[in-house]
Amino acid sequence: MTTNTQAQLGADNNTKVLEVCKVCGKAVKMELYVLGRSKTVNCKCECDEQKRKREEQERRKQEFEHERSLNKKYSLMDNKARSAVFENLTVTEENKKYIMAAENYCRQWELNKRENNGLLFYGKTGRGKTTIACCIANRLLDTGVSVKAMSVIDMLQRIRDSFNSYGTDGETELKGEIKRADLLILDDIGAEHKTDWSAALVYEIIDARYRSGKPTIITTNLTISALRDHLTDNNGVARAYDRLVEILSLVEFKGTNYRQAISEEKNYNFFEGVKE
Ligand SMILES: Nc1ncnc2c1ncn2[C@@H]1O[C@H](COP(=O)(O)OP(=O)(O)OP(=O)(O)O)[C@@H](O)[C@H]1O
Ligand SMILES: [Mg+2]
Ligand SMILES: [Zn+2]
């Protein structure tokens, strides 16, 4: 290193640059002469700070990816539910308002979460309620939101199983996960065989979500008044229903029965080319 370079690097008669940063060229190790003694000091350049920031960013990104894959893994969704994505839906004049509103619900997730905006999809069978609810689940799971989605029948079965396998602790743990998820989707409420046990459990979950202010999306093919009856307890009090109407926007799914349309298309293919 020439004297000139030493001077350029900020060295003088009492200092000597021992090492420079390979990236920015600034001095990172100096020798100081104080009262006839020499001392080596390390100094930092901005590259250190930048490197630390990059590593921190990378660590956060990995944590997010990890969290996201765990959320997906433990979403409790079955394979059909996992495969429902907005990108694969057939958009028609009839269904596009549901699809657009559902995508909008995802875009406004932070607001919906803050204000506990849930949804009640109701309507006759085969109108796409489950499909759209699952598209919302998958879109939000992709952005790192913790979502649990399952049918009420499945939820009751899982809770029963967890009790049978792991006792009260197992049951409490699973119920806790369902209660704590950022978003809970309970599909097909009203399809379950109602017993005192199932009614109490459904109430417990709805009440916990209501009290903690966490959004829930519910689908049903019951009419609103039949749903109210379904959620009315033996004493004639509609406690669970009253909580739901306070936090859910009611969305009626009308239009074509997809299942019938799919089955007609299949029948056509089946007989195609057959001569009588
Ligand atoms: N937009 C869509 N494009 C293509 N297929 C669809 C669409 N919506 C629903 N389907 C298909 O139609 C069938 C019925 O839809 P889905 O199960 O969502 O109806 P549902 O309203 O939940 O019915 P149910 O009340 O009986 O539970 C499914 O096989 C689904 O994959
Ligand atoms: Mg359904
Ligand atoms: Zn540097």
Q: pLDDT for 261-273, tens place per residue?
A: 777 777 766 667 7
Instruction: Note whether 100 and 164 are same-domain residues.
Output: yes
In a domain, 90, yes or no: yes
Give the mutation target among 131, 189, 254 for probing the ligand 1 site: most ligand atoms within 8 A of CB: 131
Q: Ligand 1, residue 124: give the atom nearest the CA.
A: 25
Instruction: Note whether 231 and 117 are same-domain residues.
Output: yes
Do 217 and 183 meet the contact criterion of CB atoms below 8 Å apart?
Answer: yes
In a domain, 19, yes or no: yes
Instruction: Note whether 174 and 123 are same-domain residues.
Output: yes
Nearest ligand to residue 21 Cα: 3
Tell me the torsion sign for CA atoms 89, 94, 98, 103.
positive
162 lines ligand 1 (CB under 6 A): no
What pLDDT, in 10s, does the model give residues 174-217? 999 999 999 999 999 999 999 999 999 999 999 999 999 999 99
Task: Report DSSP state, residue 83.
Answer: T
8 lines ligand 1 (CB under 6 A): no
Average pLDDT, the chain: 91
9 pLDDT tier (thresholds 50, 70, 90): confident
Instruction: Note whether 42 and 90 are same-domain residues.
Output: no
Q: Does residue 160 sit in helix, strand or coil?
A: helix
CATH of the domain at 232: 3.40.50.300
Q: Ligand 1, residue 90: give the atom nearest the CA.
A: 3
What pLDDT, in 10s, does the model give residues 150-162? 999 999 999 999 9
Instruction: State in Å, rounded, how far the first CA of the chain is from the last one.
Output: 97
What pLDDT, in 10s, does the model give residues 72-128? 999 999 999 999 999 999 999 999 999 999 999 999 999 999 999 999 999 999 999
Q: Where are the beta strands (DSSP E) in 6-146?
A: 15-20, 27-34, 37-42, 118-122
Segment 9-37 shows an average pLDDT of: 87
Does position 53 have pLDDT exceeding 90, yes or no? Answer: yes
In a domain, 60, yes or no: no
What is the 227 CA–ligand 2 centroid distance (Å)?
15
* C-alpha triplet 140, 180, 118: angle, nearest 5°: 55
Q: What percent of the chain has pLDDT over 70?
A: 96
In a domain, 157, yes or no: yes
Instruction: Note whether 29 and 87 are same-domain residues.
Output: no
Instruction: Note whether 27 and 90 are same-domain residues.
Output: no
221 lines ligand 1 (CB under 6 A): yes
Task: Give the residue among 232, 262, 268 at the shortest CA–CA distance from 125.
Answer: 262
Nearest ligand to residue 150 Cα: 2
89 lines ligand 1 (CB under 6 A): yes
Question: What's the rounded Cα separation, in Å, for the pair 53 and 62?
Answer: 14
Domains held by the chain: number: 2
Q: What does the CA dihedral 93, 141, 134, 113 come to, rounded to 10 degrees?
A: -80
In a domain, 151, yes or no: yes
Using only C-alpha atoms, what is the Rg of the chain? 30
**10 Å Cβ neighbour count for 61?**
10
- Domain range spanning residue 23? 4-46
Instruction: Note whether 142 and 198 are same-domain residues.
Output: yes
